Every structure is written in C-alpha cells, then in structure tokens.
C-alpha cells in the first residue's frame, strides 16, 4: 500500500453515509486491487456484513457489492450458468480472485471490466443506496454511482439458454485498452431464433437491442450468406457505438470474429 493514505474502516452503512457526508474527496473501495488508483483518503466496505452476502433464489442470485470473485464462484457452482462461471474464472489468479469484488469489477472507471458483458446479457440490476433512498438501476442504464451513494447489491437473473458463450480478449491477468469480454446467448423454438443477447465490453460497449431484433425470428440453420449479412450489420452497429471514442482497431476485428464464430454454431 502506498504511504500517506487515510483509511477509514466502517462496519455498517450508516457509518459509510456519515463519512461520505463529512469527509471531502473520500474514495470508496472494497478489494483495493488497483493500488495506483487509490486516493489519499478512502473508505473500505469489506467489513460490512450485508455487502458480503450471497442469496440464492429460484430465478436469481443476489450478491453484495463486496462479495469477492472467489466467494461468488464457490457459491454459484450449482446455480450460475456456465458462461457466468467462465467469466468469473477468467478474472486474474487465485490471489486476485480472493480480493477483487463484484462491485469493484462493475464500478471500475474508464474500461468496463470482465463481468460487464455477461451481466449485461443477463439483465443484471443494481441496488444503489444513499442516506435517504434506495434505487434500482438496470446495468444497461448504469453510468456510475452518484455522489453520496454506494452500490450495495447486484441482482443477477438466472435463466436457461440453449447456447451460452463467453470469451475474453486481451492480457490474461490484467486489464488494458485491449481488454474486452464477449457474451452470446441464444434460445430457439421449432427451428427459429426466439431470443438472442450479445454484448462486447471493454473500452467500448456494444449492446444493441436493434441489432438483436434483426436476428430474432431467423430460421435455423443459418446459411453462410445470412451470417455474412449479420456481420455486415454488426460492423455498422459497432462503428455507431464507438463514435467519438479512440478504440484500438483490433477490438472491432476480435468482436466480429467472435460473433461470426458464435453464429456459426447455429448452422
């Protein structure tokens, strides 16, 4: 840990909101996995019991923001879909999994970390609290935790999908401008695609219901010509998503290759 840091340790949410109100420029941290980004004054949430719980219901799993990747992996072995488990397993090494938290992964600034794509396609919802109210926000609408508030829980619906794919690109044990995660889900009925979810997140966020709607209703198996048409549509949609952003060209190539490989599994 860097020197000359002020660390505030709290044991309940009331203490957190009190400190946020009375201490200027206070940073909220949980696992503290990125020391170079830690400010002079920060508060840790790691010791607050309600932020470290995992509750499994019939159709969803709800986790506190301070739940570690390792704890979620262990708790979700018999409940979480395989593509979510793959995403969790891809995050760092054993030591990092035991310190990195779900909330930290979601709230990391600048680049969207590994869990964004699989949580987006799963329709995750975030519980955000301040001293006066509790808000519930779909991850697809999340643009950061408002000042004076904290992310407390993530609710992850657990549905059955016929095709589940997760892939990660970029450095193996770190996050950079070349890092991204890809999630692809499909359900079919009587040889027709009835639902599809696609996300690619990192320095860019590709999650387009308009593009997905172009695929829904398509008859299987997909022909090579049909796949080419979808890739052309995805190419244009990706360019629209990255407008105004400096994105490494390789990310677009990787996304289109991952998408093509996934669609080819439907042939």
Could you read off the pLDDT of 197-209 as tens digits, one per residue? Answer: 999 999 999 999 9
Q: Rounded to an integer, what distance in angstroms lies between the CA atom of residue 206 and that of residue 238?
A: 7
Question: Is the link from the previous residue into 221 a cis peptide, with omega within 30 of 0?
Answer: yes
Distances (CA, A) of 145 to 76, 139, 167: 26, 11, 27
Burial code of 133-142, b = ≥16 C-beta within 10 A, e = fewer?
eeeebebeeb
Running DSSP on this structure, what letter comes out for residue 50? G
pLDDT digits (tens, 9 = 90+) for 63-120: 999 999 999 999 887 889 999 999 999 998 989 999 899 999 999 888 999 999 999 9
Q: How confident is the model at residue 37 (pLDDT cuts 50, 70, 90)?
A: low
Span of 24-28, 68-72, 100-104, 231-235 with lowest mean pLDDT: 24-28
pLDDT over 90 at 185, yes or no: yes
- Residue entry with tokens 């400096």: 246
Mean pLDDT to the nearest integer, 39-57? 80
Tokens of 116: 């964004």
Question: How many CA atoms, within 13 angstroms, populate the side-chain half-sphere of residue 83?
Answer: 29
Q: Are 67 and 52 in contact (CB under 8 A)?
A: yes
Strand partners, 184: 165, 198
């Amino acid at each position: 840990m860097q020197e000359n840091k002020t660390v505030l340790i709290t044991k309940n949410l009331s203490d957190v909101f009190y400190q946020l109100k009375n201490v200027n420029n206070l940073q909220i941290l949980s696992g503290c996995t990125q020391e170079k980004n830690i400010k002079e004054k920060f508060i840790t949430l790691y010791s607050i019991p309600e932020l470290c719980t995992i509750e499994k219901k019939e159709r969803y799993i709800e986790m506190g923001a301070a739940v570690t990747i390792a704890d979620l992996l262990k708790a979700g072995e018999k409940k979480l879909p395989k593509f979510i488990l793959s995403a969790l397993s891809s995050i760092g090494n054993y030591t990092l999994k035991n310190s990195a938290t779900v909330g930290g992964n979601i709230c990391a600034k600048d680049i969207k970390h590994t869990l964004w794509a699989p949580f987006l396609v799963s329709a995750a919802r975030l519980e955000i609290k301040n001293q006066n109210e509790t808000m519930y926000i779909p991850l697809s609408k999340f643009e950061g935790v408002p000042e004076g508030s904290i992310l407390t829980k993530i609710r992850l619906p657990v549905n059955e999908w016929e095709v589940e794919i997760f892939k990660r690109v970029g450095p193996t044990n770190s996050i950079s401008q070349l890092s991204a995660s890809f999630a692809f889900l499909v359900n079919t009925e009587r040889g027709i695609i009835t639902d599809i979810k696609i996300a690619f997140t990192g320095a860019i966020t590709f999650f387009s219901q308009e593009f997905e709607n172009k695929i829904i209703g398509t008859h299987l198996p997909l022909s090579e010509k049909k796949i080419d048409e979808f890739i052309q549509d995805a190419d244009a949609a990706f360019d629209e998503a990255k407008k105004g952003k400096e994105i490494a060209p390789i990310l677009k190539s990787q996304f289109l290759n991952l998408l093509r490989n996934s669609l080819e599994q439907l042939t």
